[in-house]
Amino acid sequence: MAIILLFFSALFIFLNFLKVAGLRTAFIKSFIATCFFSYLFCEILSLNNALTKTNIGLGWLMVFIAALIYFIKSKGSLEAILNAFKFNPLNPSSPKVSFSSSVLITVLVLVVLPLLLLSVFVPPNNWDSMAYHMPRVLHWIQDKNIYPYPTNIYRQVLTSPLSEYVILNLQILSGTDSFANLVQFFSFVGVLCEVSLLFKLVGINHKGQLFALLMVASLPMIVFQATTTQTDLLATFFFISFVYFTVAIVKEKEKEKEKGNENMIEKKNFFSNTIFLALSLTLGILTKYNVAIFAFPIALYLFIFLCQKINTNLNTKQYSIQVLYFVGISLLIALIVLAPFLSHNMHYFGSITGQGVFDNNASIVSDKLSIKYMLSNNIKQLADFISIPLDPFNKLIHAGVSGFHKILGVSENDPGNNWAGEAFTINNHLNEDTAGSLFHFGFMLVALMLLFKAKITKKYLFGIFYFIFSFSLFSLLFRYSAFNFRLLLPLVTLLIVCCAYIIFKHLENTKWIQLAMISMFFVALLPVYFNRAKPIIADPFYLKRVLSHSPKMLEGSKTIFQRTKMDHYFAQNPSLQSNLVAVFDSLAPAQNKILLETEFDSYEYLAWVLAKEKFGSNFYIGYLPNGKYMSNEANIQPPSFYNSKLKDLKSHWSIVTDK
């Protein structure tokens, strides 16, 4: 099976990193490397419409051989790897299993392992997976390139593509979508590794590392996203990775004077950290543009920090060369990773982002750049974060937001400041798009109070300014939408890490820390076992109906064990299942060249799933050019090519007979 080749390639990449780094660092670097190679294969093979299973398999075979040769030639590999696995990940100084290690093992068994099982055994079924994440992957495989093709769902050709590049490698090698959710799941694991390593870098013990890990692992949005094909958790992984390697470089340079400039280990670490820092930033931007907004102040700080060290370094010339290396390698990696995608956009859409293709209100980019509208978005996004699935509480928040806007002198429903012109509503549906966390907001308030009680240093002032600036810049540049919290997930995750640091450092009563950890563990269990789309125990809204004696209490009572794979695809829109199944049952075996006419948020992927079930691998799905943008010529089929037409109008699919 071809997917095994990718698995062993990634495994040997991981083992090679494990020789010189700890378990967590090796996982982070190997995941970054795997994403980078996935990107390279998609871009290079698309040049000649050669994006096929054979060619991608050959690409991973070359990676496998190179990694294997390096692994065999390296001395002491096996011993170093065995030593790495002998110790507890959070407490490498002691081979004994501590209390914190017991808690960690419990989290791995009751949180991480179930999420892995959900990721593999429940196929992609959330809205964005249906509309554009998964359909674009199948269009690319069908067209044998990743260039734009005709579609009515513009997000398929416009949004940052890295996550889908990785999914494409998994899907084309395995022939199934069973591994598509793993990109986000491994991002979840990677974020937990990065968070604990950040605490280790700043001198926090294993108990503090576990505290930070639990604070992040209990954020509902992160847990919900871990089993989907959304891209926000992958963007968060790359952003926190960028922060981690930034801190690692700063810490090494601060220690360099003590150890002496001729320390080769420090120099080697600097070169390696620079490469992975640049990869993290550029791959993060290729996953979500907003990563650039959150990373810019940190990148600027690091550059200034390195330049300032030139004058204080004992070997100014040698240090200057290191800084030039840092700038040069960063620019080179940015060119390799970002230039192809941005040049595609310029060629096919006429701009770097291609946002002009969207209708005015459908674009996420704001056209009202003012302080008032920025503050409006700030307060609305804060309201979404502290929302809970209780209408009376949310109505109270909504009233407060409306009162704030009256003082501000703008409307919270301004169509120019809200995505798609929608009115402001608070919709905490406990899913990967809108789940907030009043629980974590409470921890942020605790951290703020402790900060005011402690001595506020320049480090804390810089942190406060950074979060306010980045959050406000996002609110200034982007329209408000009910799903903006997931776009802010990288920044919110870093904020939670910083709050965990403040609480652990300044909360003197350790019993409160232990109580907080226990609370976070139980909060983490809720989105794992009570996921609306993938309920292991029950759908939380079904429980709500039971408790309120709702007449709809029987709806949504099925767990993942009571659903077929086809049921899982329709889990978020069950009313569509009978309609779409009937449409495909009506198609004749020869009607396998399907022309689609869909809407902005149509569940197109379901058409691919049913077409595969109906026709096997012998079918084609496409659109006619709509004039909104230029498609790659090889990806356009004439109207005469198609022998059937399906139309989706307001979530009702039908066969068009007047072809």
State yes or no: pLDDT of 234 exceeds 50: yes
pTM for this predicted structure: 0.94
Mean pLDDT over the full length of the chain = 88
Confidence (pLDDT) at 386:
95
Residue 223 tokens, joined: 């847990």
Give the integer Cα–Cα distance in Å for 99 and 219. 23
Strand order in the sheet with 644-648: 620-622, 593-597, 644-648, 653-655
Q: Tell me how far CA of residue 642 lies from CA of 376, 590, 621, 649, in angstroms.
A: 48, 11, 9, 20
| In the block, residue with structure tokens 């549906």 | 429
Taking 3-state DSSP, the helix, strand and coil percentages for the chain, each rounded to the nearest 5, stand at 65, 5, 30
Q: Are 440 and 503 in contact (CB under 8 A)?
A: no
Confidence (pLDDT) at 323:
84
The model's pLDDT over 312-353, given as tens digits with 9 standing for 90+, comes to 655 677 778 888 888 999 999 999 999 999 999 999 998 888
Of the two residues 420 and 650, the one the predictor is more confident about is: 650
Q: Which residues pair with 653 in a beta bridge?
A: 648
Checking 356-363 for CB contacts under 8 A at 24+ apart, the result is 357/154, 357/158, 357/628, 357/629, 358/154, 358/158, 361/415, 361/416, 361/419, 361/420, 361/421, 362/419, 362/420, 362/600, 363/479
Give the integer Cα–Cα distance in Å for 322 and 27. 26
Confidence (pLDDT) at 659:
47
- Give Cβ neighbours of residue 294 (< 8 Å, ≥ 6 apart): 239, 470, 474, 490, 491, 494
Give the integer Cα–Cα distance in Å for 490 and 243. 11
Residue 180 tokens, joined: 């598509």
Torsion angles phi and psi, residue 480, rounded to 5: -75, 140
Confidence of residue 607 (pLDDT cuts 50, 70, 90): very high
Confidence (pLDDT) at 1:
64
The model's pLDDT over 496-516, given as tens digits with 9 standing for 90+, comes to 999 999 999 888 778 888 899
Q: Are 291 and 470 in contact (CB under 8 A)?
A: no
State yes or no: pLDDT of 432 exceeds 60: yes
Q: Which amino acid is at 364?
A: I
- Give Cβ neighbours of residue 100 (< 8 Å, ≥ 6 apart): 90, 91, 206, 207, 210
Q: Which residues pair with 478 in a beta bridge?
A: 365
Give the integer Cα–Cα distance in Å for 417 and 173. 43
Give the integer Cα–Cα distance in Å for 167 and 185. 12
Confidence (pLDDT) at 510:
80
Give the integer Cα–Cα distance in Å for 542 and 201. 44
Chain-centre distance of CA 614, in angstroms?
33
Confidence of residue 107 (pLDDT cuts 50, 70, 90): very high
Give the integer Cα–Cα distance in Å for 225 and 183. 10
Chain-centre distance of CA 434, in angstroms?
15
Mean of pLDDT values over 59-76: 86
Torsion angles phi and psi, residue 73, rounded to 5: -70, -25
Of 138-147, 178-187, 348-357, 438-447, where does mean pLDDT reach its minimum?
348-357
Strand 620-622 to 593-597 pairing: parallel
Mean of pLDDT values over 121-130: 94
Cα Rg of the chain, angstroms: 25
Chain-centre distance of CA 554, in angstroms?
34
The model's pLDDT over 616-652, given as tens digits with 9 standing for 90+, comes to 999 999 999 988 899 999 999 999 999 999 999 988 9
State yes or no: pLDDT of 544 exceeds 70: no
Confidence (pLDDT) at 612:
96
Give the integer Cα–Cα distance in Å for 146 and 139. 8
Counting every residue, how long is the chain? 659
Q: Which residues pair with 593 in a beta bridge?
A: 620
Nearest to 31 by CA among 236, 255, 203, 338: 236
Nearest to 475 by CA among 494, 488, 465, 464: 488
State yes or no: pLDDT of 2 exceeds 70: yes
- Give Cβ neighbours of residue 10 (< 8 Å, ≥ 6 apart): 30, 34
Confidence (pLDDT) at 87:
47
Domain residue spans of the chain: 2-355, 371-508+519-529, 565-655
Chain-centre distance of CA 353, in angstroms?
19
Confidence (pLDDT) at 75:
62
Confidence (pLDDT) at 657:
84
The model's pLDDT over 553-604, given as tens digits with 9 standing for 90+, comes to 444 568 889 899 999 999 888 889 999 999 999 999 999 999 999 998 899 9
- Percent of the chain surpassing pLDDT 70: 90
Q: Which amino acid is at 658?
A: D
SS3 of 117-155: the string is HHHHHCCCCCHHHHHHHHHHHHHHHHHCCCCCCCCCCCH
Confidence (pLDDT) at 552:
53
C-alpha triplet 106, 110, 111: angle, nearest 5°: 105
Confidence (pLDDT) at 166:
97
Confidence of residue 475 (pLDDT cuts 50, 70, 90): very high
Q: Tell me how far CA of residue 303 lies from CA of 171, 296, 306, 320, in angstroms.
A: 39, 11, 5, 12
